[in-house]
Chains A and B, each alone.
Chain A
Amino acid sequence: MYRYDEFDSRFVRERVREFRAQVERRLDGSLTEDEFKPLRLQNGLYLQLHAYMLRIAIPYGTLSSRQLRQLALIADRYDRGYGHFTTRQNLQFNWPKLKDVPDILDLLADVEMHAIQTSGNCIRNVTADHFAGVAADEVEDPRPTAELIRQWSSLHPEFSFLPRKFKIAVTGAEHDRAAIKAHDIGLRILRRPGTGEIGYEVIVGGGLGRTPMIGKVVREFLPRADLLSFLEAIMRVYNLEGRRDNKFKARVKILVHEIGAEEFRRRVEQEFAALDGPSVNADPEEVKRIAAYFAPPPYEELPERSVKLSIAKAAHRDFARFVETNVFAHRVPGYAAVTISLKPIGGVPGDATSEQMRIIAELAERYSFGEIRVTYMQNLVLPHVRNDELFALWEALDAAELATANASLVTDIISCPGLDYCSLATARSIPIAQSLSRRFADGARQREIGPLGIKISGCINACGHHHIGNIGILGLEKNGAEYYQLTLGGDATENAALGERLGPGLAAEEVPDAVEKIVNVYLQERSVGEEFIATYRRLGIAPFRQAFEKGVEGDQHAAH
């Protein structure tokens, strides 16, 4: 894992000290809220519906046991004993007191963490595939690239006052698990056909929010060495030409859309050609130094197949099911990556208690080289578990009620905090997730349905990724009541697509029946082995809409 060098540590400590002084000045009245607000936001501190909220960056979703334990300690000492993992691989605490935040930030600095650039119009926490360094379909671990970008973008003087927030995601794999096409910049590490040289496909102008867009390829192949100067060229074009007159039109996606991908590309290439590459690009020695931090852990040489695993699977049905859904093939023989679902039936998606954090930290130490990953699906992953030890791990997880076998299934629901916490929300989202989770609680039925992503946001800002959910749910308000709009066919992967509106909005209690009808159409119409999204693509929205409309005007309880 990346370790802070002396410069990093000093920088983070000084930043905490500075913020401590700013908080003191706020509390003694020397700073007004208007003066203080941008300062607190730069340190990840928001004001929400019920209290302040602190957003902590987990760069590229990689955590150590030590860090996770520290988060648990903060949750107990300064919050209400839990935290919320978000779609941006951040952790949010919902109840910190302003006066305590400097102490919290010091505790974070103790374990090389911070909350810088988790808010504001800067380059935010860089996210990456949660199976980085693990996935068999990977060309290269995306984290060194993400770390390089983090260092380059941290307090970059030219890019700390952008027209709007800016989000970058990186994957090194064929299959996109980082939703790179829904980011301002998405990077995919690939090998150049023919030469085998490693470089990047660069995608710009994706984003969700009120004007959702899928990113456009701006460069098919960028040599590795040119990464920072090319990013700098993109940022310059955006910084100069991105709109500042209207906050809703200020994201780079709007610029790309307004001038067209071709023209945007031309301007970036022009800027890139004019830049002094060598003065911007990272020193190859530095790139090597960073990459060394992500060297694989000391794996043992193990046989591909584990007899112990086969026996345990045969003896324990629940375990076998867990392996089927939550265990991911590792590129190293004899190992596996394990998804710890933070979506128990009826639970709050992404929430983990301090007790669970400590248990997971402990299990990571025992079984996964002390490493944990945070996924944009709001789950955790133990990335390097020996096949031989999967059963022991599962038993421990099961005892802690952390063994829900639903990764990527219909109850693995993404949900933003919505109106239960968020001051921008127009409706609640978590209760919808809970009611759907309960409706589809039956494990056999979930497995029969197969991979199906439901994603819920509590307002058009789309923090819950509803546009790219196979089934998307958006909470809105009409005449003083919450209501929900469904979209179908969204896709967060390399086949990224935005969902299409199904029909009129629904009251909260109508949502489970409507989703059930959609699922039933799929089950009826699918061909053998066809996943929901494939059936949707083949059939289009019509049959789903038909079933939905029947429900809306007719018997609301037909499906039950």
Chain B
Amino acid sequence: MAAPKKPPLPVILMANDLIDGEVVFRTATGWSSEPREALIAGNAQAADALEAEGIAEMSRNKVVDAYLVDVVLGENGPQPRHFRERLRTLGPSIRPDLGKQAQSVIEPRGVPHVSL
């Protein structure tokens, strides 16, 4: 089997917490529910290390579905390039009262807003 394609750099590592399912981000010391605390890998070596950590954490049964996500760096920290992953850092776009966006620390931003 061919190795899965690597995302462009820089990347962060996202996963779901095993126990409550919440989206979490790998930090320098563990996992955080805050995207701005995510550890950013800017070169291939760091990305590989981050990915390896994801695999190790999955086998330690801390998280599920850990994978690298390519981001752009802004003043509020890393922001996934793809809208799917961006939504995961926020919550349902139709329910601003739910998910991470509800916890006021971060502003809903950058998701292509359907204003019609």
- Find the residue from B58, B61, B65, B82 having the highest chain A CB count within 10 A: B61
User: Chain A: which residue is nearest B58 at the CB level?
Assistant: A33
Tell me the residues in window 23-45 of chain A with beta carbons closer than 8 Å to chain B beta carbons.
Answer: 26-27, 29, 32-33
Say whether B93 faces chain A, with CB atoms less than 8 Å apart. yes
User: Chain B: which residue is nearest A27 at the CB level?
Assistant: B19
Say whether A435 faces chain B, with CB atoms less than 8 Å apart. yes
Q: Is the CB of B65 within 8 A of A47?
A: yes
B2 shortest CB reach to chain A, Å: 19
Say whether A51 faces chain B, with CB atoms less than 8 Å apart. yes
Tell me the residues in window 74-116 of chain B with beta carbons closer than 8 Å to chain A beta carbons.
Answer: 81-84, 87-88, 91-95, 98-99, 112, 114-116
Say whether B13 faces chain A, with CB atoms less than 8 Å apart. no
CA–CA, A419 to B114, complex, Å? 13
Q: Is the CB of B116 within 8 A of A50?
A: no
Q: Is the CB of A29 within 8 A of B98?
A: no
User: Chain A: which residue is nearest B23 at the CB level?
Assistant: A50
Q: Is the CB of A49 within 8 A of B19?
A: no
Instruction: Name the contact of A480 in the complex, choosing from B59, B61, B82, B93 (C-beta under 8 A).
Output: B82
User: Chain A: which residue is nearest B91 at the CB level?
Assistant: A50
A50-B99, A97-B19 are contacts. A421–B116 as well, Cβ < 8 Å? no
User: Chain A: which residue is nearest B100 at the CB level?
Assistant: A50
Q: Is the CB of B20 within 8 A of A421?
A: no
CA–CA, A138 to B87, complex, Å? 46
CA–CA, A80 to B22, complex, Å? 14
Q: Is the CB of A480 within 8 A of B81?
A: yes
Q: Is the CB of A47 within 8 A of B116?
A: no
> Cβ of B99: which chain A residues have Cβ within 8 Å of it?
50
A428-B114, A509-B114 are contacts. A33–B64 as well, Cβ < 8 Å? yes
Q: Is the CB of A26 within 8 A of B92?
A: no
A27-B18, A98-B20 are contacts. A420–B87 as well, Cβ < 8 Å? yes
Say whether B60 faces chain A, with CB atoms less than 8 Å apart. yes
User: Chain A: which residue is nearest B92 at the CB level?
Assistant: A420
Say whether A341 faces chain B, with CB atoms less than 8 Å apart. no
CA–CA, A29 to B92, complex, Å? 30
Main SS class of interface, B: loop
- Find the residue from B21, B65, B83 having the highest chain A CB count within 10 A: B21
> Cβ of A32: which chain B residues have Cβ within 8 Å of it?
59, 61
Q: Is the CB of B18 within 8 A of A439?
A: no
CA–CA, A29 to B18, complex, Å? 10
Q: Is the CB of A480 within 8 A of B83?
A: yes
Q: Is the CB of A99 within 8 A of B112?
A: no
The total number of A-B Cβ pairs within 8 Å is 93
Chain B: interface residue total (CB-CB under 8 A)? 30
CA–CA, A438 to B91, complex, Å? 23
> Cβ of B61: which chain A residues have Cβ within 8 Å of it?
26-27, 29, 32-33
Q: Is the CB of B94 within 8 A of A431?
A: yes
> Cβ of B84: which chain A residues have Cβ within 8 Å of it?
49, 419, 425
CA–CA, A270 to B65, complex, Å? 46
Say whether A473 faces chain B, with CB atoms less than 8 Å apart. no
Q: Is the CB of B94 within 8 A of A47?
A: no
> Cβ of B59: which chain A residues have Cβ within 8 Å of it?
32
CA–CA, A348 to B98, complex, Å? 14
CA–CA, A94 to B92, complex, Å? 10
A22 shortest CB reach to chain B, Å: 13
CA–CA, A318 to B93, complex, Å? 32
> Cβ of B16: which chain A residues have Cβ within 8 Å of it?
47, 51
- Find the residue from B23, B87, B114 having the highest chain A CB count within 10 A: B114
CA–CA, A430 to B91, complex, Å? 14
Say whether A434 faces chain B, with CB atoms less than 8 Å apart. yes
Q: Is the CB of B20 within 8 A of A99?
A: yes
A348-B94, A419-B87, A431-B94 are contacts. A47–B114 as well, Cβ < 8 Å? no
CA–CA, A264 to B60, complex, Å? 49
B32 shortest CB reach to chain A, Å: 16
CA–CA, A419 to B94, complex, Å? 10
B78 shortest CB reach to chain A, Å: 17
Tell me the residues in window 385-438 of chain A with beta carbons closer than 8 Å to chain B beta carbons.
Answer: 419-421, 425, 428, 430-432, 434-435, 438
Q: Is the CB of B116 within 8 A of A512?
A: yes
Q: Is the CB of B114 within 8 A of A431?
A: yes
Tell me the residues in window 63-121 of chain A with beta carbons closer than 8 Å to chain B beta carbons.
Answer: 80, 94-99
User: Chain B: which residue is nearest A23 at the CB level?
Assistant: B19
Q: List 7 A-B pairs, minimum CB-CB distance, nearest first.
A: A435-B116, A51-B21, A52-B21, A420-B92, A431-B114, A97-B20, A29-B61
Additional 12 contacts, C-beta under 8 A, given A27-B61, A98-B21, A509-B115: A33-B64, A50-B21, A51-B16, A51-B21, A52-B21, A94-B92, A98-B18, A428-B94, A431-B94, A435-B114, A480-B82, A481-B112
29 contacts between A and B (CB under 8 A): A27-B18, A27-B19, A29-B61, A32-B59, A33-B18, A33-B65, A49-B87, A51-B16, A51-B21, A51-B22, A52-B20, A80-B98, A97-B20, A98-B19, A348-B94, A420-B92, A420-B94, A425-B84, A428-B93, A430-B94, A431-B93, A431-B114, A431-B116, A435-B116, A480-B81, A480-B82, A509-B114, A509-B115, A511-B116
